[in-house]
Amino acid sequence: MTNDLFINGKKVDSFGDWSPQTEHPAIAIQRQEHDKRIELEQSLKMSPKTTIFVAPEPQEMPDICKTEALFELEREYYPLLKAQRIKLDDAYSKVTLMQSAIEPSEFEIQDELSQKPFVYYQYEDNDGFGTFPENIPDVINNLPDGYRIVKMVKASKRCWPVYFHDR
């Protein structure tokens, strides 16, 4: 009995230029690649399985874990922070005391200026007579550059004012 091939009820006796005993070269290459692929899949299936643990990405800690972690940090660092805070407070108090000793208060400044105005200001008193009323606009308009009128007081010999001016 021969192995006749029937397609759609017709006997196929010829496959063109090659016989059924020899394969077409493209089919031979395709079969070889398919065999290699099957061999690789079987080797992967037969290889020993190893479980690799991959740590998950960190997520937000629950509140209980947060408070415990904060307590641990506080236990570790609170004594150091407290000692440092005490040192800083001492240094700050020393600096403020030194600054208050160096800088005069507003009252001391006013007292000094009222007791010795002639030391700190320039003045025109016209030998104790002050500035005549008709010359007041000239004095105000002719102040040296950068000077301003600080205070006007009564002249010692007359009732006309004396002008103190300062830079």
Could you report the per-residue pLDDT of 131-162, keeping only the tens digit for each? 777 877 887 788 777 777 777 777 766 665 65
pLDDT digits (tens, 9 = 90+) for 68-101: 888 888 899 999 999 999 999 999 999 988 887 7
Q: Given a cut of 80, is residue 8 above it in pLDDT?
A: no
Same-domain status, 112 and 130: yes
Contact 167, 161 (CB under 8 A): no
95 occurs within a structural domain: yes
Tell me the three state secondary structure of residue 147: coil
User: What is the pLDDT, as a whole number, of residue 19?
Assistant: 54
Nearest-angstrom CA–CA distance, 20 and 14: 8
Q: Which of 54, 76, 103 delimits the end of a domain?
A: 103
Reported in sequence order, the residue ranges of the chain that DSSP labels E, i.e. its strands, are: 5-7, 10-12, 122-124, 148-154, 161-166
1 occurs within a structural domain: no
Q: How many domains does the chain have?
A: 2
Which tokens belong to 110? 């006013």
User: What is the pLDDT, as a whole number, of residue 99?
Assistant: 82
User: What is the pLDDT, as a whole number, of residue 43?
Assistant: 87
Domain coverage including residue 124: 106-166
13 occurs within a structural domain: no
46 occurs within a structural domain: no
Same-domain status, 113 and 152: yes
The pTM is what? Answer: 0.29
